[in-house]
Amino acid sequence: MTTPTTISSSGEATASTATRMLTFAATACLVVATVGQWLFGIYILLFYGKTTLTGDFARWNRVLPHGYVEGDWKGNLIVGSHVLLAAVLVIGGPLQLMSPIRQNFLRFHRWLGRTYVTTAILVSLAGLIMVWTRGTIGDLTQKISISLQAIYIISFALLAIRAARARRFDQHRAWALRLFMVTNGVWFFRVGLMGWLLINGGPVGFDPKTFTGPFLTALAVFTYALPVSLLVLEMYFHAQKKPDNTFRFITAAFIFLCTVIMAIGIFGATVGMWLPRI
């Protein structure tokens, strides 16, 4: 016979399984994202760092159609700062989220946090100038979407600083995580694109010459303008707060699914994009 005690203990077991699944999914996601971000960071340092140090700026144009323009030193400086400072974001971002570093090296966490926030704002401003003055591949929807992302980055960075200064650490954590998600929009875009190419065995749903088409429109909208990454994060926040086991299981499953897609995309981007360029 089922007694109230057995019901409550089986309820507790389900609750603890749901919580464990959620934590495990979030940890797996962070580990996979960290590996992928650092691979992107290594590519940035080896490609842009090396060409900058050796003065071989013309090589940027193998990757960026409007990367280096002879005689336009201001524009070139903006592009150079954008890509080199980007390394600080993709290498430093995951470090900020690691709790052992936060707990044991608080001064480093604070220093890196200030650097990250300032860099995110500078990289976004440089990106906006690049999109609207130098031109880039892609259509107007892609340009508007990435510009919206720059506005999210700048706004979330300022909100994260404001919460930290007011010592509202719960809010600071939430805004810092939102900032991390939108700052990684460009990384999600690359990983999403290369995962799609890998799964389909080539370009499907877009024209690789003009870099336009329904797939790229959807990818730009859902990584930049209406980021799915933010939706996943908000689900995670909600699942952590509300003792609703079903929602915790659904969120954990969704995070797992995103992690698998991300892992495929990271493999595709590393093998198909970053390694061949170095």
H or E element at residue 133: none
Does 44 sit near ligand HEM (CB under 6 A)?
yes
Question: Binding string to ligand HEM for residues 176 to 215, with x set by CB under 6 A, is what?
Answer: -------x--x-----------------------------
Query: Residue 150 or 219: which CB sits closer to ligand HEM?
Result: 150
- At its nearest, how many Å lie between ligand HEM and the CB of residue 278? 11
- At its nearest, how many Å lie between ligand HEM and the CB of residue 57? 13
Give the closest residue to 87 by CA, choosing from 186, 235, 199. 186
Question: Binding string to ligand HEM for residues 80 to 119, with x set by CB under 6 A, is what?
Answer: --xx--x--xx-----------------------------
Phi-psi region of 193 (alpha: psi -120 to 50; beta: other; left: phi over 0): alpha
- Cα 68 to Cα 88: distance, rounded to the nearest angstrom: 21
Choice from 35, 39, 66, 76 touching ligand HEM (CB under 6 A): 66
Query: Residue 102 or 272: which CB sits closer to ligand HEM?
Result: 272
- Cα 126 to Cα 83: distance, rounded to the nearest angstrom: 9
Does 270 sit near ligand HEM (CB under 6 A)?
no
**Number of chain residues interacting with ligand HEM (CB under 6 A):** 27
How many angstroms from the chain centroid is the CA of residue 31? 13
For 202, list phi and psi in degrees, rounded to 5.
155, 180
- Crossing angle for the helix pair 140-165 and 106-129, to the nearest 10 degrees: 150
- At 204 the three-state DSSP class reads coil
- Cα 220 to Cα 149: distance, rounded to the nearest angstrom: 10
Query: Residue 13 or 278: which CB sits closer to ligand HEM?
Result: 278
Residues lying near ligand HEM in the complex (CB under 6 A): 44, 63-67, 82-83, 86, 89-90, 120, 123-124, 127-128, 130-131, 136-137, 146-147, 149-150, 153, 183, 186
